[in-house]
Amino acid sequence: MIYERVVISSDLKFLYLTRKIILNILRKSKLSAENENKVIIAIDEAVSNVIEHSHGFQRHKPIDLVINSNEKKIQITISNKGKCFNPRTVCKPDIMESIKEGKKRGLGVFLIRQVMDKVQYSFKNGQNKLILVKYITK
């Protein structure tokens, strides 16, 4: 069983450090190395989205990460108070269209959905809550 809480500031320069801290936590779980990378990708993308779209790069705004794990799954809850950013409203990107238009962003949510088994979002009392789940396969 793992229960860890990490609070980070909304600064893109701390993404590297966040990934490092999260990896150290994931190493205590039963997640395979391949899935560790997937979970890291999802958290990095989710946190980047919060910093950019919900907090508008306001560094003083905190982002709360709670990592829970048992034998069967690992669950990451990312919470922040800021603008509503609902990943469900983000369409699946058309890569060929993006290339044609030189559009280079908007792939994060797609990537999160690709790598995680469950993605749940809610917005209540001014708080965004994103729950990411990865099942531990043997």
- Find the helix or strand (DSSP H, E) in which 67 lies: strand 62-69
Q: Which residues pair with 133 in a beta bridge?
A: 75, 118
Nearest-approach distance from CB 58 to other proteins, in angstroms: 15
C-alpha triplet 30, 36, 37: angle, nearest 5°: 165
State which of positions 36-95 bind other proteins (CB under 8 A). Answer: 37, 40-41, 44-45, 48, 51-52, 95
| Residue 26 buriedness (CB in 10 A; 0-12 / 13-18 / 19+) | buried
Number of residues that bind other proteins (CB under 8 A): 30
Residue 111 binding other proteins, by CB under 8 A? yes
* Pairwise CA distance, residues 20 & 22, whole Å: 6
Q: Does 138 bind other proteins (CB under 8 A)?
A: no
Q: How far is the CB of 124 from other proteins (least distance, A)?
A: 26
Residue ranges that bind other proteins, judged by CB under 8 A: 12-13, 15-17, 19, 37, 40-41, 44-45, 48, 51-52, 95-96, 98-105, 107-108, 110-111, 114-115
